[in-house]
């Protein structure tokens, strides 16, 4: 192959060699022991999982569908089972401060055991305590305490009544309490009798009433103290009576948890609280002393996390990582129209469940949830999980809530995400680099050599088995390998996108079963590929229809000056297809500027604007050296109404400008794609296969003449993986693909005119394209000079002063 020549058909598509596949069907292939093509990522994962120091969490980055979760599951499934089971955690009541529940750490399986023991304890006490208080001895002591209180009260009021009687004052007990009344001859006096007394007698009686009233008030103030003393005696009696019934079962539980000081402290607090609240065990739940905390629930154990020994480390993969789902929450319940809560309503989050193990998160899902990312960072930085309500943090509600003890955190967090998210977080979040020090970057493709094809064949076999699909024969596997090369956009590579691979295998299996086969063959895979394209082909077909009808103006024959067929790729809904575009250029006498109409209309992206500046620089460097800048040009993408971005049209734009300057027509039967640098070298672009096929489809619809073709960069030849119908047309000479390395090769191919090279004096041949461009520019220079001479003559004669009645002013023209 010579540079700039037509490409041979065998270069347009790298077909697979069936002799390289040494099996009949994928059933003959064993399972792959390792992950295909991800050596770098696997090493990073091994390192990150093995590193126990702070901050060595993992960020697994790569395209969605690259099999990142599959790889991590492969690694973690066995690793997690082999690791030690983490300790369990539970919340218990803080009897001194109920709004601050205590968190207790217990060995695996012990938290659930403690919950069962406490539940059984409450049931036992409900039966044992009432039975204890039904004994005769307890009743006798209660009666003794009541009798002593009654005797003291009666004696005090009796002594007061006797003293009052001696002073002719009666102490009368009424339904409303006690009253003092004057007496005479053993009878109480009426108001008339009292007022009829002599003044001296009445004064003595008033003094006596005042004295006994003061003594009665003091006595009445003393009664509550005696009642309190009675209650304390009864409480002490209750504690003493219940002591044996309470202490014995709690002591048995203490013996079972003797190795856990925190549990022993809690059990002692339970013992004291039960002794202080014996009444609720005697009378039942209805006697609960607090309306917002059921009496017996105060002794429950709220288990957050507990696993039996030997289950290994937890592996948690939440689907909805919201703030509350990550850190846990405190629920509320309605009680007489009021929201109340207690420690039994504390619910664990994913961080609790993953404590001592692994937490796998999709970073894009985390970032979409308010405050979720901050919650993860705070937990990792402080090594604890603190349950806090967002509503209370921001004072949005005023409901009573809890302040549970934070739970110490030891977890390995593994994030999954696209590469741009990793680099964005690394750049914008100062904490990110300190917390996620291990990136595991997944490869997008695999080298397409014998070893790579063998590895991917094993992967195909594994995917088919995993999804219970029919086995594939060698021809089907080879067609899948070719499609994976096409998906990679490079004939020398194989795509490692497991999601696309699995979809293709499932659809090929569907077509094979539809024809009643027991093995998937090449035609089944091809039918699946064609069906995938057909399902998403409406927009492409509609645009091609508009071109055929002449609504979108794209020529595929003839030749025109300053007009060229450019090629672009449209990406819609995960489907890419090529689309030809008409690019036009106009040149005229000017100031050395090239106007990018797309940019001026704010329809050009920054990369496209850069490409126009580069081609302008090339034009200036090649053709304007030693000349006065006198070129004014404009380029535009015709009939485009959205943003134009990218530099793959810069060769086409440059050729259109050169064609306009040289007045040499460009063959409309050809389309061109490629990027240009300031030295005129044609550079590689993306989507070369889709671009070629887009122009081919239009030409085929209009009828292939044998003149049509596409000009591509030489650097893109190794990426070619064209459809078989395009290759067949090229082999039959009905369509052509040309590769070029420089803009001169491109302009020669597009115009059919020699581009021309400079001689020893740096002059291009007159009939060459470059020579014609130089001649046109020279004519612009002459035109400028012819326009400038009359102006200079007028300027030389026009030196005057203008006078007026208010002062002097002068205007002068100077030669330049």
Give residue-wise pLDDT tens across range 32-60: 765 788 889 889 999 999 998 999 999 99
Last residue of a domain, one of 261, 278, 295: 278
Is residue 244 scored above 50 in pLDDT? Answer: yes
Contact 320, 330 (CB under 8 A): no
Same domain, 216 and 243: yes
Same domain, 705 and 564: yes
Q: Extract the runs of DSSP E, i.e. beta strands, from 655-706.
A: 666-667, 670-672, 675-676, 682-683
Q: Which of 336-350, 454-468, 499-513 has the lowest mean pLDDT?
A: 336-350
Q: Within a domain: residue 665?
A: yes
Kindly write down the DSSP assignment for every residue of 91-136, as one continuous string: EE--SS-TTSPEEEEE-TTHHHHHHHHHHHHHHHHHHHHHHHTTSH
Render the burial of 441-477: b for 16+ CB within 10 Å, e for the rest: ebbbbbebeeebbbbbbbbbbbbbeeeebbbbbbbbb
Give residue-wise pLDDT tens across range 537-549: 888 999 999 999 9
Q: How many Å apart are CA 532 and CA 544, to the nearest integer?
A: 19
- Which tokens sit at 6? 């037509």
Q: How many Å apart are CA 78 and CA 584, to the nearest integer?
A: 63
Q: How confident is the model at residue 795, as a pLDDT?
A: 52
Q: Within a domain: residue 386?
A: yes
Say how many residues make up the chain.
Answer: 816
- Which tokens sit at 269? 């607090």
Same domain, 687 and 725: yes
Same domain, 22 and 68: no
Q: Within a domain: residue 108?
A: no
Question: Which residues partner with 636 through β-bridges?
Answer: 584
Enumerate residues 6+ apart whose C-beta is below 8 A from 730.
7, 9, 12, 736, 737
Work out the average pLDDT over 130-141. Answer: 80
Going by the DSSP 8-state scheme, the letter that residue 512 receives in this structure is H
Computed over every residue of the chain, the mean pLDDT equals: 86
Work out the average pLDDT over 473-497. Answer: 92
Gyration radius of the chain's alpha carbons: 47
Give residue-wise pLDDT tens across range 2-15: 446 889 999 999 98
Contact 62, 101 (CB under 8 A): no
Q: Within a domain: residue 97?
A: no
Number of domains in the chain: 4
Q: Which of 469-478, 526-535, 807-816 has the lowest mean pLDDT?
A: 807-816
Helix (H, G, I), strand (E, B) or coil at 421: helix
**What is Dmax (Cα atoms) for the chain?**
159
Residue 630's domain comprises 541-758
Same domain, 194 and 267: yes
Place of tokens 């093509």: 37
Contact 592, 630 (CB under 8 A): yes
Nearest CA-CA partner of 431 in 48, 63, 54, 43: 54
Enumerate residues 6+ apart whose C-beta is below 8 A from 617.
678
Q: Within a domain: residue 293?
A: no
Q: Within a domain: residue 361?
A: yes
Same domain, 355 and 479: no
Q: How confident is the model at residue 19, as a pLDDT?
A: 85
Q: How confident is the model at residue 141, as a pLDDT?
A: 81
Task: Give the residue with greater pLDDT, 625 vs 380.
Answer: 380
Q: Residue 659, Cα to own-chain centre: how many angstroms?
A: 51
Last residue of a domain, one of 442, 465, 482: 442
Same domain, 232 and 319: no
Share of the chain above pLDDT 70, in %: 93
Same domain, 587 and 736: yes
Same domain, 269 and 323: no
Residue 432: give its domain's CATH number. 3.40.50.300
First to last CA, the chain: 55
Q: Within a domain: residue 226?
A: yes
Q: How confident is the model at residue 184, as a pLDDT?
A: 73
Q: Extract the runs of DSSP E, i.e. beta strands, from 6-69.
A: 58-61
Place of tokens 């001296």: 200
Work out the average pLDDT over 699-726. Answer: 93
pTM, two decimals, is: 0.79
Give residue-wise pLDDT tens across range 383-426: 999 998 776 666 555 555 788 999 999 999 999 999 999 999 99
Same domain, 51 and 182: no
For residue 589, the surrounding DSSP H or E stretch is strand 575-589
Work out the average pLDDT over 645-666. Answer: 92
Residue 748: give its domain's CATH number. 3.30.230.10
Nearest CA-CA partner of 753 in 682, 681, 674, 662: 662
Enumerate residues 6+ apart whose C-beta is below 8 A from 516.
none
Catalytic positions, written as ranges: 648, 691
Q: Within a domain: residue 4?
A: no
Going by the DSSP 8-state scheme, the letter that residue 707 receives in this structure is -
Residue 459: give its domain's CATH number. 1.10.8.60
Last residue of a domain, one of 500, 535, 570: 535
- Which tokens sit at 815? 């030669």
Task: Give the residue with greater pLDDT, 234 vs 699.
Answer: 699
Give residue-wise pLDDT tens across range 196-207: 778 887 787 878
Q: How confident is the model at residue 82, as a pLDDT?
A: 87
Give residue-wise pLDDT tens across range 591-603: 778 888 889 888 8
Same domain, 419 and 551: no
Same domain, 525 and 586: no
Q: How confident is the model at residue 764, as a pLDDT?
A: 87
């Amino acid at each position: 192959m010579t540079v700039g020549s037509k490409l041979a058909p065998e270069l347009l598509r790298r077909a697979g060699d069936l002799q390289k596949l040494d099996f009949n069907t994928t059933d003959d292939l064993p399972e792959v022991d390792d992950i295909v093509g991800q050596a770098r990522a696997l090493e990073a994962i091994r390192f990150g999982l093995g590193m126990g120091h702070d901050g060595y969490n993992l960020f697994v980055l790569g395209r969605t569908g690259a099999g990142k979760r599959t790889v991590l599951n492969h690694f973690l499934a066995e690793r997690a089972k082999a690791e030690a089971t983490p300790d369990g955690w539970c919340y218990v009541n803080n009897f001194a401060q109920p709004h601050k529940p205590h968190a207790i750490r217990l060995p695996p399986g012990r938290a659930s055991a403690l919950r069962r023991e406490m539940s059984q304890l409450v049931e036992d006490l409900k039966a044992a305590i009432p039975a204890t208080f039904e004994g005769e001895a307890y009743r006798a002591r209660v009666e003794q305490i009541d009798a002593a209180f009654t005797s003291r009260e009666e004696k005090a009021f009796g002594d007061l009544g006797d003293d009052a009687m001696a002073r002719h004052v009666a102490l009368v007990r009424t339904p409303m309490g006690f009253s003092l009344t004057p007496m005479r001859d053993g009878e109480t006096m009426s108001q008339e009798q009292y007022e009829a007394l002599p003044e001296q007698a009445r004064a003595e009686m008033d003094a006596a009433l005042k004295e006994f009233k003061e003594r009665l008030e003091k006595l009445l103030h003393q009664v509550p103290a005696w009642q309190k003393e009675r209650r304390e005696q009864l409480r002490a009696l209750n504690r003493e009576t219940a002591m044996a019934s309470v202490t014995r079962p709690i002591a048995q539980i203490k013996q079972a948890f003797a190795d856990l000081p925190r549990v022993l402290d809690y059990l002692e607090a339970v013992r004291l609280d039960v002794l202080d609240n014996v009444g609720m065990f005697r009378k039942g739940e209805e006697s609960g002393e607090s309306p917002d905390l059921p009496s017996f629930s105060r002794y429950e154990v709220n288990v957050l996390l507990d696993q039996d020994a030997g289950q290994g480390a937890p592996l948690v993969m939440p689907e909805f990582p919201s703030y509350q789902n990550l850190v846990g929450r405190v629920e509320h319940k309605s009680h007489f129209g009021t929201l109340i809560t207690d420690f039994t309503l504390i619910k664990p989050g994913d961080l609790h469940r993953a404590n001592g193990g692994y937490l796998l998160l999709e970073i894009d899902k985390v970032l979409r949830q308010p405050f979720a990312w901050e919650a993860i960072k705070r937990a990792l930085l402080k090594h604890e999980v603190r349950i806090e309500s967002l509503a209370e943090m921001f004072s949005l509600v005023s409901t009573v809530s809890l302040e549970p003890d934070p739970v110490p955190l030891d977890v390995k967090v593994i994030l999954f995400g696209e590469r741009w998210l990793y680099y964005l977080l690394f750049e914008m979040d100062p904490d990110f680099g300190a917390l996620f020090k291990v990136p595991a970057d997944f490869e997008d493709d695999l080298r397409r050599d014998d070893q790579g094809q063998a590895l991917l064949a094993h992967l195909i076999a594994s995917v088919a088995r995993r999804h219970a699909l029919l086995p594939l024969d060698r021809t089907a596997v080879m067609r899948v390998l070719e499609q994976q090369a096409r998906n990679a956009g490079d004939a020398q590579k194989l795509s490692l996108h497991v999601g696309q691979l699995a979809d293709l295998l499932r659809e090929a299996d569907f077509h094979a079963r539809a024809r009643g086969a027991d093995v998937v063959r090449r035609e089944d895979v091809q039918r699946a590929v064609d069906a995938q394209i057909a399902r998403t082909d409406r927009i492409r077909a509609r645009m091609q229809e508009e071109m055929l009808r002449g609504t979108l103006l794209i020529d595929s024959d003839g030749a025109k000056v300053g007009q060229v067929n450019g090629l672009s790729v449209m990406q819609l809904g995960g489907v890419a297809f090529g689309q030809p575009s008409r690019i036009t250029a106009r040149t005229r006498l000017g100031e050395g500027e090239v106007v990018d109409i797309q940019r001026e209309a704010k329809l050009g992206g920054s990369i496209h604007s850069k490409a126009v500046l580069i081609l302008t620089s090339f034009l200036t460097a090649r053709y304007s050296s030693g000349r006065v800048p006198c070129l004014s040009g404009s380029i535009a993408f015709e009939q485009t109404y959205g943003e134009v971005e990218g530099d793959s049209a810069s060769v086409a734009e440059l050729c259109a400008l050169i064609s306009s300057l040289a007045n040499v027509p460009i063959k409309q039967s050809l389309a061109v794609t490629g990027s240009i640098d300031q030295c005129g070298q044609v550079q590689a672009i993306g989507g070369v296969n889709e671009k070629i096929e887009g122009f081919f489809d239009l030409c085929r619809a209009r009828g292939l003449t044998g003149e049509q073709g596409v000009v591509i960069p030489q650097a893109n030849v190794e990426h070619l993986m064209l459809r078989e119908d395009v290759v067949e047309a090229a082999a039959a000479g009905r369509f052509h693909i040309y590769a070029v390395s420089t803009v001169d090769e491109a302009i020669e191919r597009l115009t059919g005119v020699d581009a021309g090279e400079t001689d020893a004096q740096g002059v291009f041949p007159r009939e060459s394209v470059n020579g014609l461009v130089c001649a046109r520019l020279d004519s612009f220079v002459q035109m400028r000079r012819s326009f400038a001479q009359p102006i200079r003559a007028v300027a030389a004669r026009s030196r005057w002063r203008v006078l007026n009645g208010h002062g002097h002013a002068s205007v002068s023209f100077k030669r330049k």
